[in-house]
Structure 1
Amino acid sequence: MIKYFLMNLLLSAIWVALTGSMYYTNFLFGFMLGFFVLWIMNRNELDQRYFYRVPKIISFIFYFLYQVIKANIQVAFDVVTPKYFFKPGIVRYPLNASTDFEINLLSTMLSLTPGTLIIDISDDKKTIYIHVMYLTDPETFVRQTKTGLERRLLAILR
């Protein structure tokens, strides 16, 4: 998988050198073009993980940016208005993530979104305790996080 990523970066750099314009949009276009060329060349290979993970990673980045922007707007609106809309609470979140790396990455992503903070991880690594600033329903929060952030993150890592 690393081999395909490095070849994709090389093809993107070659594209930038051939076109002569060093802009990030041109580099991204070269990366997409290189991804397509590699995909066409390796359709019959057994190891296709790279070609499935790159679209998932891009989708995850856009989903996470959307969640961060939405949470920032919610917190900023609450700070600017004279009335407070937050309803803080602590949620017991059961984990689907099993390895230390998956748990660490999930907890970091949850802590990066404004309004959530990881309080503790249980000793058996099956539960995370999360402080949520805008908690209307704990079950809804757990369901949305499981079907959104955790599912997408585990699809990339596994």
Structure 2
Amino acid sequence: MSLFFTGLVFVLIWLAISGSYTVPNLLFGAVVAALSLGLIRHQIKRGDRAGIRPLATVSLALLFIKELALSAWTVAKLVVKPRMELKPGIFAYSLTVERDFEIALLANLITLTPGTLSVDVGEDRKTLYIHALDCRDVEATKRSIADGFERKIMEAFAR
């Protein structure tokens, strides 16, 4: 995907999020998109066939919305119980994604999902430390991240 097209997508997303379709807002979105692309330009290889896959990116966004709703519902149910039977804790998650952008995106998606929080990335950039509200089944949580967010990120931002 070309930088121009990527910037155009950023501007359209900005317009949709802000809800204001005025010329000044359009120009502001274009400036923010240009600055954003300038910040990540070293991670975008020109002439490389890989890049952002629009349909896979939409699929990732839909997965996030689904996970957001499900985890919000789960946390709400846990909070209203008279006796909360939680086992909070921190666990290490072995990363499959390698690029800084992908690691940051995964960490942010996990943090934005209620009940989980990305705490730290290992110095080797191969481990993500995650705090979970309920660590009774850590392996299931790890599988959910690997089969969900991480797989969708790799599909959306393939090399």
TM-score (norm 2): 0.66
- Tell me, yes or no, if the aligned pair for 2:110 and 2:116 is still in contact at 8 Å: yes
Would you say 1:128 and 2:110 are equivalent positions? no
Q: Deviations over 1:97-150 (max 9, x none)?
A: 111111111101110001111122111111011111122222221111111110
Q: Determine what percentage of the aligned residue pairs are the same residue.
A: 34
* Offset, 1:154: 1.5
Q: How many residues align?
A: 122
- Indicate conservation of the 8 Å contact 2:115/2:132, yes or no: yes
Q: Deviation per CA, 1:49-91, whole angstroms, max 9, x where unpaired?
A: 78x9222122111111110111111111122221213221211
Residue number in structure 2 paired with 1:85: 85
Distance in 1, Cα, partners of 2:94 & 2:141: 12
How do 1:114-125 and structure 2 match up within 5 A?
A: 114-125=114-125
Q: Provide structure 1 residue ranges, at least 5 long, that are not aligned to the other structure.
A: 13-21, 23-46
Tell me which residue corresponds to 2:143: 143
SS at match of 1:128: strand
Is 1:56 aligned to residue 59 of structure 2?
Answer: no
Q: Distance in 2 between matches of 1:6 and 1:125?
A: 28
Unaligned regions of 5+ residues in structure 2, if any?
Answer: 13-20, 22-47
One-letter identity of the residue aligned with 1:119: V
Aligned-pair CA distance for 1:6? 7.6
CA RMSD of the aligned region, Å?
2.7
Larger Rg belongs to: 1
CA distance in 2: counterparts of 1:122 and 1:133, whole angstroms: 21
Structure with more contact order per residue of length (Cα contacts < 8 Å, sep ≥ 6): 2
Deviation at 1:94, TM superposition (A): 0.4
Q: Is the 8 A contact 2:88 2:131 kept in 1?
A: yes
Work out the CA distance in 1 between the residues paired with 2:140 and 2:62: 22
Name the structure 1 match of 2:25.
none
Residues in 2 aligned to 1:63 and 1:100: alpha-carbon distance in whole angstroms: 21
**Residue of structure 2 in register with 1:70 after alignment:** 70
The aligned counterpart of 1:32 is: none
Q: Distance in 2 between matches of 1:98 and 1:60?
A: 18
